[in-house]
Chain A
């Protein structure tokens, strides 16, 4: 079955003169989205850390960061690398390279998500064993949930285009028309990576 042209000009109304122009518009849109999300996460971290700094006494018996977090951090970093690999393979017109890198990325993304869920189980176990529960405990515990939860929500947003790309690379013949989506998805995941590092630092400080 022949598949439809990959990037149709929006609404087929010929808003863009060329496909390249459409990709360029997409890049700018993505940049603005990321700036906006950076403000969102930045505001979150700032608010929680300011509360932390505003409290001179802070509980000593808080749950430890689950070990799974470190595995997921590793896999997120690896995702950035394998995405970079896919983009490079696309530039070199290597279909096999794209396929391998994208499948790898998909596996790593699943590992990341599974590890985060496992970390949540670990965390709630630790929380249920706490003997005291002050207001400060609540903030610290909620901080973990909010940081990781909001981040995972954005990861899920990134899984969608990743799955589309993976499907396309494995079951279809790759065309250059997919390069725009590949580049944009890669940038989005690099962003998720950077945000995660900031969140992790904040979690360590909490």
Chain B
């Protein structure tokens, strides 16, 4: 038994932090603290990631040989459906906003919590219920693909009984996401302290804000679409099923009206994280702050008017096709604005090759490939050839995994010291990144080749003489390498919790407010209102060997709020 006294002797700054503030399982289950809710999301999302990853490995293993190695066709359909459904609805959409966003957003803003802490906890439990529905759907079986296209999801003879639980789950997850978005918008509008003007907000907050707008506007449309699908399935009402007089293309319009904006729900927060990673680890003022901020908003707006590019081959009118094709190109502009600004920030910066920075740079490379291939697909004539091939699979993995997930993993490395108060092994981190990056490109770059050579997506077998197998083998080996990389990460993260070096308040040299409170942060985030400055002006910081972190320079006056390490208390 450690008494209060000895504990504080051993670990002086651990005393009042959000982890130790109250104890016992109920203090977590019923917590209203945004940091704890963030951690609960984090653990849950990572658990779902493991499950989705298992299905991914099953899919890849199947494709090692032309006739399929381990599954029959029906099992294969289920494997890729569950992989996609879990990764999209349970992992990527909540990963950054709900897990990392919940943890850091109020602190970055200088607030004590989100605007509606109870609603925040409710969002989390909605996620849990949605996840349980998804797991239940697995038992009944689900083989529609993550898009639940009609008639696959309706037709009695083929659709499996997991459809209703799965769409119910996605519906509930949708509301979890809507409430999180509402909460974040109100927080950013109403809880900004004095001095935190819109254009002093860290760029991560801009991107979270733009994301939240999409969540609030687009997700209800998915909700009602899935509800109608469930009604149709349960009572035989012909809304989307042609056999009952419904219109399957209408389903696609409604689905993509949500799901194209949803891809920006996934990637915008990652772009926000990358803006932080690049600036902090280059120790250089972010270049073109307001361009990056506004481009987030522009992307959010554009994202609502391009959904038709998913439907070029669905039989929608040629005029619509041409219009959607043109508007699709315009999305590339704000995306490119961001990339140029990140590169300009790194140029002449003093780059620290920390693990989070590697992910930041990895993001730029992978998003470039993902975004540019999006333009190929947005080109009407090219898409007719490439639609529903592995080229599309490669494109959206470069954007969803190579960009959105990488942003999340990078952010996790960046804020891990803040969340846990411990440093992970930096060399292990770099090693895992390299492993991941190699495995990633082996897995997905080959799929561009597969797709342009005509390998369709969602097939569990392929002709032996079509020249596909070599690519499939490389792709599968890449997937195994990625799996090793992820287990390595899990290993050093866990090791750091139990035996890691204590993290300083500011291990990387960040200037946004979360680096001004202790690691881990205290229960109330700030005891006094922190003074807000230019959160990208790093010139006021210097490295301090004694604490293994950055501190305020003595020759520059601190604008307020006692800085525990700088004052050397």
Given A10-B116, A51-B250, decide whether A36 and B190 contact each other with a Cβ distance below 8 A.
no
Which residues of the other chain, B, contact A41 by a CB distance below 8 angstroms?
Answer: 224
Chain A residues closer than 8 Å to B182, beta-carbon distance: 29, 32-33, 36
| Cα distance A146–B111 in the bound complex, in angstroms | 42
Min CB distance A195 to B, Å, is: 13
A21–B223 touching, CB < 8 Å: no
Given the complex, which residues of A lie within 8 Å of B250, measured CB to CB?
47, 50-51, 54
Given A15-B111, A136-B245, A37–B220 Cβ distance below 8 Å? yes
- Given known pairs A47-B224, A47-B254, the reply for A25 and B186 (CB within 8 Å) is yes
CA distance A141 to B333 in the complex (A): 47
* Complex contact A36–B238 (CB within 8 A): no
Provide the A1-37 mask, 1 if CB < 8 A to any CB of B, else 0: 0000000001101111000010011001100110111
Q: Which of B172-205 contact A (CB under 8 A)?
A: 178, 181-183, 185-186, 189-191
A160 contacts the other chain (CB 8 A): no
Q: Does B239 contact A (CB under 8 A)?
A: yes
Do A10 and B117 touch across chains, with their CB atoms under 8 A apart? yes
Q: How many residues of A contact B (CB 8 A)?
A: 34
Please, which residues of chain A bring their CB within 8 A of the CB of B32? 10-11, 13
Shortest B525–chain A CB gap in Å is 10
Tell yes or no: B246 within 8 A of A by CB.
yes
Closest chain A residue to B32, Cβ basis: A11
Report if B524 contacts A (CB, 8 A): yes
Could you tell me if A135 and B238 are in contact, using CB atoms closer than 8 angstroms? Answer: yes
Shortest Cβ distance from residue A2 to the other chain B in the assembled complex, whole angstroms:
24
A156 CB–B CB distance under 8 Å? no
Q: Which of B228-236, B427-435, B538-546 contacts A (4 or more CB under 8 A)?
A: B228-236
Report B-chain residues with C-beta under 8 Å of the C-beta of A74.
Answer: none
Let me know if B48 is at the binding interface, CB within 8 A. Answer: no
Across chains A and B, the number of contacting residue pairs, with CB separation under 8 Å, is: 112
Least Cβ distance of B119 to chain A in Å? 8
Give every chain B residue within 8 A of A201 (Cβ-Cβ): none
A43 touches B225 (CB 8 A): yes
Interface 0/1 of A116-144, CB less than 8 Å to B: 00000000000000000011101100100
Partner of A142 from B183, B191, B237 at Cβ < 8 Å: B237
CB of B247 within 8 A of chain A? Answer: yes
Residues on the A chain within 8 Å of B285, using CB: none
Q: Are B225 and A138 in contact (CB under 8 A)?
A: no
Mask, B505-532, CB within 8 Å of A = 1, is: 0000000000000000000100000000
Q: Are A21 and B190 in contact (CB under 8 A)?
A: yes
Is B244 a contact of A138 with CB atoms below 8 Å? yes
Number of interface residues of B (CB under 8 A): 42
Q: How far is A95 from B263 in the complex, measured between Cα atoms in Å? A: 51
Partner of A15, one of B181, B191, B218, B219: B191
A130-169 interface code vs B (CB 8 A; 1 in, 0 out): 0000111011001000100000000000000000000000
Q: Which of A21, A29, A43, A138 sits near B220, CB closer than 8 Å?
A: A43
Q: Which residues of B contact A24 (CB under 8 A)?
A: 190
Q: Does B216 make an interface contact (CB < 8 A)?
A: yes
- Is there contact, CB below 8 Å, between B185 and A15? no
Tell me whether A55 and B235 are in contact (CB under 8 A): no
Give Cα A138–Cα B236 distance, bound, in whole angstroms.
8
Nearest A residue to B236, CB-CB = A138
CA distance A50 to B239 in the complex (A): 9
Q: A28-B185, A36-B217 are in contact. Are A43 and B224 (CB under 8 A)?
A: yes
Query: Are the C-beta atoms of A142 and B186 separated by less than 8 Å?
Result: no
Which residue on B lies nearest to A24, using beta carbons?
B190
* B186 x A28 contact (CB < 8 A): yes
Please tell me if the beta carbons of A40 and B216 are within 8 angstroms of each other in the complex. Answer: no
Q: Is B337 an interface residue (CB 8 A)?
A: no
List, in ascending order, chain A residues with CB within 8 A of B185's CB.
28, 32
Looking at A16, A21, A51, A136, the one whose CB has the most chain B CB atoms below 10 A away is A51
- Check B118 for interface membership: any CB of A closer than 8 A: yes
**Contact indicator A28/B117 (Cβ below 8 Å):** no
Nearest chain B CB to A169's CB is how many angstroms away?
A: 25
Across the interface, name the chain B residue whose C-beta is closest to A35: B216
Provide the residues of chain A in CB contact with B224, threshold 8 Å: 40-41, 43-44, 47
Closest A residue to B245 using CB positions: A135
Question: Which of A11, A14, A40, A136 makes the CB contact (< 8 A) with B118?
Answer: A11
Whether A71 is near chain B, meaning CB under 8 Å from some CB there, is no
- Measured between beta carbons, the chain A residues less than 8 angstroms from B265 are none
Whether the pair B238, A139 counts as a contact (CB closer than 8 A) is: yes
In the complex, A177 has a CB within 8 A of chain B: no
Q: Is B385 an interface residue (CB 8 A)?
A: no
Question: B383 interface residue, CB < 8 Å from A?
Answer: no
With A36-B182, A139-B239 as contacts: A15 and B112 at CB distance below 8 Å: yes
B111 cross-chain contacts in A, Cβ below 8 A: 15
Cα–Cα, bound, A146→B112 (Å): 42
B221 touches A28 (CB 8 A): no
Which residues does chain A contribute within 8 Å of B236, judged by CB atoms?
A: 138
Q: Does A48 contact B (CB under 8 A)?
A: yes
B225 pairs with A40, CB closer than 8 A: no
Q: Are B186 and A32 in contact (CB under 8 A)?
A: yes
The docked-state distance in angstroms from the alpha carbon of A37 to that of B219 is: 10
Name the residue of chain A whose CB is nearest to the CB of B225: A43
Residue B143 lies at the interface, judged by CB distance under 8 Å to chain A: no
* Cβ-based interface call for B115 (8 A): yes
Instruction: Give B234-266 interface residues, CB cut-off 8 Å to A.
Output: 235-239, 244-247, 250, 254
Q: Is the CB of A48 within 8 A of B118?
A: no
CB pair A29–B237 under 8 Å, yes or no, is no
> Does A43 lie within 8 Å of B237, measured CB to CB?
no
Is A39's CB within 8 Å of the partner chain B?
Answer: yes
Q: How far is the CA of A14 from the CA of B112 in the complex (A)?
A: 8
Contacts A29-B186, A142-B237 given; indicate if A13 touches B217 (C-beta within 8 A).
no
Closest A residue to B529 by CB, please name it.
Answer: A17
Q: Which of B113, B217, B244 contacts A39 (CB 8 A)?
A: B217
| Cβ contact within 8 Å between B235 and A142 | yes
Q: CA of A57 to CA of B345 in the docked complex: distance in angstroms?
A: 62
Report chain A residues within 8 Å CB of B183: 29
The listed residue (B178, B186, B223, B244) touching A135 by CB distance below 8 A is B244
Q: Given A136-B245, A139-B245, do A29 and B216 touch, yes or no (CB 8 Å)?
A: no
- Further pairs besides A50-B250, A51-B246: 20, Cβ < 8 Å: A10-B32, A10-B115, A10-B117, A11-B113, A13-B112, A25-B115, A25-B186, A25-B190, A28-B189, A29-B186, A32-B181, A35-B216, A36-B182, A43-B254, A51-B238, A54-B247, A135-B245, A138-B237, A139-B238, A142-B235
Between A and B, 30 residue pairs with Cβ closer than 8 Å are A10-B115, A10-B116, A10-B117, A11-B32, A11-B113, A13-B32, A13-B113, A15-B114, A21-B190, A25-B115, A25-B116, A28-B185, A29-B119, A29-B183, A29-B186, A32-B182, A33-B182, A35-B216, A36-B219, A37-B220, A43-B220, A43-B254, A44-B228, A48-B239, A50-B247, A54-B250, A138-B237, A139-B239, A142-B231, A146-B231
9 smallest A-B Cβ distances: which pairs? Answer: A135-B245, A40-B220, A11-B32, A39-B220, A25-B190, A142-B237, A43-B224, A43-B221, A32-B182
